[in-house]
Amino acid sequence: MELKTAFPRSHEHRELEWACAIHGGAGAIPRTASEETVKQYREGLSGILADGIEMLSAGAAAIEVVEALVIAFEENELFNAGRGAVYTSDARHELDAAIMDGLTGRSGSVAGVRRVRNPVRLARAVLDSNDHMFYAGEGADRFAEARGLERVENRYFDTAHRYRALCEAQGQNTVLLDHDQGYGTVGAVVRDRAGNLAAATSTGGMTNKAPGRVGDTPLIGAGTYAANGLAAVSATGRGEAFMRHMVAYDLCARMRYCGTALEDAAHDIVMSEMEAGDGGIIAVDHAGTIVMPFNSPGMYRAAADSSGNSVVAIWDPPRPTSDTQ
């Protein structure tokens, strides 16, 4: 029988103290990638997962953990978020992010950010502001300045490998979706010791996108969602597909109104409702069950829980052990 959860369920179905999952993008990730490239991605995922394990073991709150883990992704130029963001068609960078606290139901979203080093930190500031829920463009950058967040020149996000991808896309007169090269969204979902849930997601979008284009990442209910008693969800892949299906909220709605188990809801949405190649999600429920389904060739992902289970994987669903794949 196909294993729908990240780790096998125990016969006792005991509630875990904590659980954590992260992703670094889903898409057509080539198995022909060099060993060094694969090693770099595995090490990046492993290091960020280790940070989450340390924080949760020490009793950190879910909302603090997801923010910290996504910041770590944003500082790693391998991933399409923050430092590693892709280019728009005018050779600039516009970044989106969202964060949601399952305990309070509060969220913060930003889109089209150009001069903030860590967009997810800005999204957290929006969440904490007790005012608006979503800032975009120049207004988001001004809000960051007012909040004293670190600002950078747009060229801070320049990287040689992203520029090569832009030149390739423009040479083909096309737009390269972030998942076409496996350079997708990043995200984290957490269940902490208190049973609280949280989710955070961040992205640079897609290579050669039109200035002003916004995908699912900052849209609460599409690419990001968290509700205590249900689940925390972060999506990656073809943003327009996740917006059409309102994937993150749909998963939680199935759990709330139909009593569907997390693994069944996630599997049905990703494998049946969405088209092959659209991407994947990571999610954790109130009991600490983790799912990471995807319908693309691969998804950079990792997960761990308080029982000692852990996994780091890129391609086919990992074996139900602590071995990495």
Catalytic residues: 185
Q: What is the dihedral of CA 87, 71, 293, 284, to 10 degrees?
A: -150
The two three-digit tokens of residue 155, written as one number: 């060229």
CA atoms within 13 A on the CB side of 35: 0
Rounded distance between C-alpha atoms, residue 258 and residue 208, angstroms: 41
Q: Which residues contact 223 (CB under 8 A, 6 or more apart)?
A: 98, 185, 187, 201, 215, 216, 217, 234, 235, 236, 239, 242, 243, 247, 248
The residue length of the chain stands at 325
Beta-sheet pairing, 134-136 with 107-113: parallel
Beta-sheet pairing, 186-191 with 279-285: unpaired
Rounded distance between C-alpha atoms, residue 3 and residue 6, angstroms: 8
